[in-house]
Amino acid sequence: MRVNRILTPLTLSTAWQIVPITVPAISLALQCRTAVDVLLCHHTDDVKYWTLKSGSSLMLDLEGTKYADAAEITNLITNGTFTGGQDFWTVDETAWTYGGNLIAKDANGTGVISQPLSSFTPGRLYKVVLTMSLYTVTGLTARVGGGDVSATMASDATHTQYVVAGRTATGLLELVPANAGRFSVDAVEVYALTGPALLAKVGVGTPVLELMALV
């Protein structure tokens, strides 16, 4: 017998967040008091978008397949901590300087720092994690394989972004700064998410997304 279970509400932001499905679910109902963008990745290269209108409900029929959180397997970045140098990275040194196991954006310029992922599937959903420190102004975005650009990261914190990769032959992680940006980057990690994943974000504010699962 199937039963409905109310799940923990999720406070949204302007960056994609994984919707936490704490139990395997057959279908999901979502409701929010403001408009929400919803991204459902069924498989590695099957991505579907919806917009949940303000105050309305969205029911996702997951085709009878049980649904669980996407899994992270292996960090696909080498020397993401910049230990002892910037080996494995391509760095635009007009804007970036290495020192003290950090890479610092200490001059004007929009040159990227980049690294090919050790494994890459075009169109897949990727999780990008990095630590930003010594932040003073503007920020940084991330993309994988020339795909979707992440939300801007602009504070001293460990940031997590979810991006859909492009369909280029090479899976290149690119960290793209704003021209006047001043900050340091460290502890970069990238994971391919396996299995289906549900994400949500909003255009402005931090509303709460309410969730109900059929289990």
The set of residues, in sequence order, having a beta carbon less than 8 Å from that of 161 and lying 6+ positions away, is 15, 16, 127, 128, 129, 142, 150, 151, 153
| Residue range(s) in the chain whose domain bears CATH number 2.60.120.260 | 90-193
131, 104 Cβ separation under 8 angstroms: no
Distance CA 153, CA 151 (A): 6
149, 151, 155, 160 alpha-carbon torsion, rounded to 10°: -80
Mean pLDDT for 86-113 is: 95
User: What pLDDT is stored for residue 38 in this prediction?
Assistant: 83
Best CA proximity match to 158, nearest among 126, 133, 193, 138: 133
**pLDDT confidence bin for 64, thresholds 50/70/90:** low
CATH architecture classification, 90-193: Sandwich (2.60)
* Bigger pLDDT: 24 vs 62: 24
Other beta carbons within 10 Å of 114:
15
User: What pLDDT is stored for residue 35 in this prediction?
Assistant: 84
Distance CA 149, CA 191 (A): 16
4-70+196-214 belongs to CATH 2.60.120.10? yes
181, 133 Cβ separation under 8 angstroms: no
**In Å, how far from its chain's centre is CA 108?**
26
Distance CA 147, CA 170 (A): 11
pLDDT > 70? residue 62: no
**pLDDT confidence bin for 70, thresholds 50/70/90:** low
Distance CA 93, CA 143 (A): 20
pTM score: 0.85
User: What pLDDT is stored for residue 44 in this prediction?
Assistant: 45
**pLDDT confidence bin for 56, thresholds 50/70/90:** confident
| Residue range(s) in the chain whose domain bears CATH number 2.60.120.10 | 4-70+196-214
